[in-house]
Structure 1
Amino acid sequence: MTRHLEVGERVVRTEALRGGITAEMRRLTVGRRDGGTRDLVLRSFVEPFYLEHAEESLHREAGALSVLAGTGVAAPELVAVDPTAVHCEYPSLLMTRLAGRAVLEDEGLEARIHLLARQLVAIHALRPAERPREYVSLTTADTAVTPKGADAAVWDAAIDVIRKPAPPYEGRFLHRDFQPGNVLFDVPSSGPAGARITGVVDWAATSWGPADLDVAHCSAILALLHGPAWGLRFPEAYEQAGGALAAEASERLYWQVRDGLACSEEVQQVAQTWREAGRTELTTRLVEERLDAYVTALMDPGRPPRECGEPHR
């Protein structure tokens, strides 16, 4: 990738970045001829499971970053892409580094919920000349995993929801992994309550599909990371920000349940990632309990979400 640097530039330092699940992320500090520096980010697919789809994923992300350039959505700028590892050890993408950091703590979440909602509305408003691929479902009725101790009847009913055909929808430009870990904030010294969004990263799953699906994914992650009540609040925040969701409650439920069940297959992985990022209290068991409480609340919207650790009633 050094051939894509400007004349007289060279990489003077590398730093592994935390938080990536599907790919390894490295921060490259580039020294300039004038003595200054600039930062780039190298995204590389290393694990055998993800290498299988690396070429397609990197082409998709490179295309998305090209589409996003010049829009009102802050995203990294594409520098270079090597989807088949011709020049790099692994399939990789080089991009500019955005300022800010992902904010995963609970403090200031009330304000960030609305910032996240407004940002997602802006993403869904994009109308690229060439649509990305159609969305891909991340789970099926046969692969969903019922958490230990969950009410089997409730989960069976939830799984039955996604056995039905997907509802009709009006397509939108989707991030497809929009959630707090992929949104960067500038956090003032006063704390997360005054944070503002500086950009959105990880566009490898960009696709075309219902706005409900992006909203459902962010809702599910909020439920696991901060508690079920926060996941249930996000759709309302999205609509307040000007977003439009499916008109029928049954259609909304389909997308909400589908993405909630998708989380059931990777609870251990996401819990470990959050613990490594500083949320050490988020054990796999606690995240499973939050997922169970969230799915139960979706299936019984008239009942307040159960606090984790409480017995089923």
Structure 2
Amino acid sequence: MTNHDEAVAVRPLTLAWVGRHLDVGERIVRVQVLQGGITAEMRRLTIGTRDGGTRDLVLRSFVDPFYVERADDWLNREAGALTLLAGTGVQAPGLVAVDPAAAHCEYPSLLMTHLAGRTALDDGGLEARVPLLARQLVAIHAVRPAERPPEYVALTTADTVVTPKGADAAVWAAAINVIRSPAPPYEGRFLHRDFQPGNVLFDVPPPRSADARITGVVDWAATSWGPADLDVAHCSTNLALLHGPAWGLRFAEAYEEAGGVLAAAASERLYWQVRDGLAASEEVQQVAQLWRGEGRTELTTRAVEERLDAYVTTLMDTLG
């Protein structure tokens, strides 16, 4: 039986577009809003099949004007990545359909298969998950696309960094000076560009043991070509803010233990690690709110700011 109250949450034109990409005799029987996204609306669509069973799809729609302006680029990148990854060992959603310019839907949208699993943002089982995350990122960086995605873009500048209240001004000034220098030379790799625990799915029940496994990686809208260090730095920053500064450093170690190659010089590693840490300063309130919604209620904006300050200080002490 169709859940009409939830189905109407999908806008009429988009609903019709989805319907054109279902198999004959299939219909949407349930719609569930998925939490955890910042840039787009995410919905899980349960599809009733001809044989009486069900299967799930995920609908991603950009509705905020700021993100709608960028949706054409992002959805084309994601569609290209999902198509590419279908022939690799990297578990990613399968592309069903994409409407990047909203030619058929109310808003730019992408329809993809649903992956089993859940994100794991709590401290329990972290020691077992970090090597899994590292091995997964090494596998992503091993992908060799026939056509490279666009070069990475570093949005943060020395002038846009937000120094946390109470932070050591001298340490932060030194960190900001690091990214005033030109980017170090690097060997390009296929990057996810937002690889972090919120975009990695683990098996259910919650992974707290050595038996944990990754079931998939989602959100490929920012795929880029650039240094492996940049992807590693991004995951390191997120782990440092979620679990403490030491875990940011541990992830870089785990990446190398898994066979990944980072910049040889400490100064070059510092550049990428600090660049991503400073980038987080502009989004602290946003990510803290997101994580609290995912159950990490202790991660207030102030708590995340303090962890970011401690992480940047640790980087400068360790690599600077």
TM-score (norm 2): 0.93
**Residue pairs, 1:264-303, within 5 angstroms:** 264-301=281-318
Q: Does 1:83 align with 2:100?
A: yes
* Residues 189 and 243 of structure 1: CA distance in aligned 2, closer, same or farther (over 3 Å): closer
Between the aligned partners of 1:168 and 1:302, the Cα distance in structure 2 is: 18
Matched residue, 1:309 = none
Q: Give, in whole Å, the separation in 1 of the partners of 2:307 and 2:122.
A: 16
State the match for 1:94 in structure 2.
Answer: 111
Matched with 2:221 is: 204
C-alpha displacement of 1:259: 0.3
**1:251 maps to 2:264:** no
Partner of 2:132: 115
Residue by residue over 1:197-232, the C-alpha shift from the partner in whole angstroms, topping out at 9 and shown as x without a partner, is 001000000000000000000000000011111011
Name the aligned partner's letter for residue 248 of structure 2: G
> Pairwise mapping of residues 105-254 of structure 1 onto structure 2 (< 5 A)?
105-188=122-205, 191=208, 194-254=211-271
Aligned to 2:50: 33
- Determine what percentage of the aligned residue pairs are the same residue: 81
Q: 1:15 to 1:184 in 2, by over 3 A?
A: same
- CA distance in 1 between counterparts of 2:285 and 2:83 reads 34
Equivalent-residue separation in structure 1 for 2:317 and 2:261 (angstroms): 23
Equivalent position to 2:71, from 54, 78, 81: 54
Contact 2:120 2:206 in 1 (8 A): no
Q: Note the alpha carbon deviations across 1:82-122, whole angstroms, 9 max, x for none.
A: 11112212100000000101100100000100000000000
SS in 1 for 2:318: coil
Residue identity opposite 1:88 in structure 2 = C
Distance 1:190 1:300, change over 3 A: closer
Give the deviation of 1:190 after TM superposition.
7.7
User: 82, 103, 121: which is aligned to 1:104?
Assistant: 121
**CA-to-aligned-CA distance 1:116-167 (integer Å, 9 cap, x gap):** 0000000000111100000010311010100000001100000000000000
Q: 1:193 deviation in Å?
A: 5.4
Code of the aligned partner of 2:304: V
Q: Hey, what's the Cα distance between the residues in 2 that align with 1:63 and 1:259?
A: 25
Distance in 2, matches of 1:123 and 1:73, equals 7
Deviates more, 1:293-302 or 1:66-75: 293-302
Once residues 163 and 192 of structure 1 are traced to their aligned partners in structure 2, the CA distance between those partners, rounded to angstroms, is 42
* 1:101 partner SS: coil
Return 5+ residue gaps in structure 1 as ranges.
304-313
Q: Distance in 2 between matches of 1:148 and 1:97?
A: 41
Contact 1:109/1:193 (CA < 8 Å) preserved in 2? no
Q: CA deviation at 1:187?
A: 3.0
Find the residue that maps to 1:16 and give its secondary structure: strand
- Determine the structure 1 residue equivalent to 2:89: 72
Q: CA deviation at 1:53?
A: 0.3
The total of aligned residue pairs comes to 303
Counterpart amino acid of residue 271 in structure 1: A
Alignment partners' CA distance in 2, 1:191 and 1:165 = 42
- How far apart, CA to CA, are the structure 2 residues paired with 1:277 and 1:302? 32
CA distance in 2, matches of 1:139, 1:269: 16
Instruction: For 1:161, give the aligned amino acid.
Output: V
Larger mean CA deviation between 141-150 and 186-195 belongs to 186-195
Distance in 2, matches of 1:189 and 1:53, equals: 34
Asked if the contact 1:103–1:192 (Cα under 8 Å) also holds between the matched residues in 2, the reply is: no
Answer with 246-255 or 194-203: which moved more.
194-203
Whole-Å separation in 2 of the counterparts to 1:135 and 1:63: 16
Matched to 2:238, the amino acid is I
User: Match for 1:144: what amino acid?
Assistant: V
Amino acid of the residue matched to residue 67 of structure 2? Y
CA distance in 1, matches of 2:63, 2:83: 24
Judge conservation of contact 2:192–2:220 (CA < 8 Å) in 1: yes
In 2, the alpha carbon distance for the partners of 1:295 and 1:302 equals 10
Structure 1 residues 85 and 189: alpha-carbon distance in aligned structure 2, compared to 1, 3 A threshold: closer
- The answer to whether the 8 A contact 1:127-1:173 is kept is yes
Whichever residue aligns with residue 241 of structure 1, its letter is A
